[in-house]
Amino acid sequence: MRRALTIAVVACLPLATLPAVASAAQAAQAAPAAEPGDRQQAFAAAAEEFKVPESVLLGVSYLESRWDAHAGQPSNNAGFGPMHLTDAAAFTGSNHHGADEEDPRGDESRPQTNAAEPAEPPAETEIPASLRTLEKAAELTGETRERLRSDAAANIRGGAALLADHQKSIGAPLSDDPGEWYGAVAKYSGAQEAEAAKFFADEVYATIAAGQERVTDDGHRVRLDPVAGLDKIEKWLEKLGLRPARRDGVECPPTISCEWIPAGYAQLPNGGYGNHDLGDRPRSQKIDYIVIHDMEGYFGPSIGLVKNPAYRASWQYSLRSTDGHVAQHIKAKDVGWQAGNWYINAKSIGLEHEGFLAEGHTWYTEAMYRTSAKLVRYLALRHGVPLDRAHIIGHDNVPGTIPGTVQDMHEDPGPFWDWAHYMKLVGAPLHPSGGPRSGAIMIRPDFESNKPYFYGCDRQNPSADCPPLPAHTVWLRTEPRADAPLVKDIGKHPTGESLYSVYDHSARASTGQRYAVADRQGDWTAIWYLGQKAWFHNPASAPTAIPSAGLVVTPKPGLETVPVYGRAYPEREAYPEGIPYQAVTPLQYTFSAGERYTLSGPAATEYYRAVTFDPAGHTVVRGETRYLQIQFGHRVMFVKADDVRVMSAG
């Protein structure tokens, strides 16, 4: 991803130039870290030192990081370590809908004309306190910023110190009763909205009441025992003086914090308008997809862009990382310019999550996962969207519209989004179906232990190796051996090889995606992928895929190849007078006889004609051609039903 439109939070500064916040005397007093192999003891020691109930410290940390250290890498909003201490002053941000790449509208019938000016980066003092907690933790503990970033025990001390400081700031006692810490927990969220702070605290207290146990990403077993009879003392929330959220009829479940911040919509010079289209969904068109994005930027500046009608992109919802707070910008009835494919845009809802695919940032908070999953389940049930990975898709799963747009389609939310955990939170866990020799599989590596090689995570050194990090993808090779070349994607790389870059999905399959089995040899499984056999390591002792029953498609007898498409547009005869025909253009891939691809279901044959500010002339054109959606590569694609035969995967 290359972004011309920069909305940096601050100019990127060398860490050595950042102001010191702890005196030498403070540093000398910093407590020694717990043994690196005992994360549980680190929580116990920090809780005792700062007089914070251990259950509260564990509960807050679980909702931020699930107790993981993430190899010292920052989160998607520059948070570090188990306590998600934030240091946004050291990082820049820019929204991923840049001016020199994918057209977010994805509709050549109305070329993109909007061109908002880049926003000026705010001064460091304008960065909200929620993105500067590491600085305060350094002041309170005497730990250096580097230790707070990279040392898990020091990071836990910093989080405990912050909680104790929050407790004192509202006049609450340093009590052994977890219920007395409700206000401090709410303040830890960094939220300025009372509803968001309460949601965060309620999620923490639900975790404390239920208990949790897991092994962290670096092998530490941590346990939070259930706390019976937990009583939340909510009067302390009132001491925070937070503002009420602006709900204004938001389309959100009542169990999450959500406010209405409308996207810009205005008529612009030269026939332009922005930055979305008014519609009448679901009466005019059924919503079939929910698209998961990351912003490649921070929450506040990204919302500033979507409010601008001259900006070239828009989406329905934005989600904040630290506390999971949601802002809705566009009603479900209207169409956002978000996915780079007008067919998908017209039939989808887009969710932008604060953060970055990999450029210095790698992981997503539990608070945001939980809110996002609740919102997706609410929207899916409301609009009849199937709860599977063929309809709950990443931006990286959206196909190009025509051959010329394939290369610039986006890659977010990237390989570090935990799809298995997310789908479980959505209420649709990824379980096996069928027998061990099933003719189809679902990609399902163990996220914590699956750490494939990538490069490109360091923006200062883009050719450097990424640290070993949990990921949801498996590499696909031309032969069943670890040193075989990666398979090719002629759309993404017309004249070159697939890359191990964190930004290149050309030879990767992702958790939850279903593929038809092409072959098996020992510990290796081959799938049909972009017109070729693609091999991945799938040993019985540590499988990276599970059986998946269902239907597949193959070319009808007598057809050597059939075309695949990036959209399911109607035939020429369906267009009424005055509405230009939209060409049904095959993509550059080949689907040959003998190959099989998993069937996701039928696709509506529709084109939404919306090229004017006034919605009175907007029309949905429907055709008679029947299309089917298939998993053809990393992205979903479409075939005409008359070209293929549908059969059981076997």
Residue 299 resides in a domain: no
Residue 248 resides in a domain: no
Residue 146 resides in a domain: yes
Residue 254 resides in a domain: no
Residue 497 resides in a domain: no
Using the 3D structure, point to which of 206, 238, 270 is the last residue of a domain: 238
Q: Of 633, 478, 628, 650, nearest to 555 (Cα)?
A: 628
Using the 3D structure, point to which of 211, 238, 265 is the last residue of a domain: 238
Specify the DSSP element, H or E, that contains 140.
helix 133-141
Residue 262 resides in a domain: no
- pLDDT tens sequence across 594-614: 999 999 999 999 999 999 999
Compute how many other C-beta atoms are within 10 angstroms of the C-beta atom of residue 60: 30
- pLDDT tens sequence across 167-220: 999 999 999 999 999 999 999 999 999 999 999 999 999 999 999 999 999 999
- Number of Cα atoms under 13 Å in the Cβ half of residue 160: 26
- pLDDT tens sequence across 109-124: 876 665 554 444 444 4
- pLDDT tens sequence across 339-392: 999 999 999 999 999 988 887 678 999 999 999 999 999 999 999 999 999 999
Backbone φ and ψ of 512, nearest 5°: 95, -20
Residue 12's pLDDT band (boundaries 50, 70, 90)?
very low
Using the 3D structure, point to which of 219, 238, 257 is the last residue of a domain: 238
Structure tokens at 50: 């700062």
Residue 74 resides in a domain: yes
Count of domains for the chain: 2
- Give the CATH number for residue 219: 1.10.530.10
Residue 167 resides in a domain: yes
pLDDT of residue 605: 98
Spell out where 248-337 has E strands.
258-260, 266-267, 273-274, 276-277, 289-294, 317-319, 326-328, 335-336
Q: By residue range, what is the domain housing residue 224?
A: 31-87+132-238
pLDDT at 268 over 80: yes
Using alpha carbons only, how large is the chain's radius of gyration in Å?
A: 25
Specify the DSSP element, H or E, that contains 49.
helix 39-50
- pLDDT tens sequence across 217-267: 999 999 999 999 999 999 999 999 998 877 788 999 999 999 999 999 999
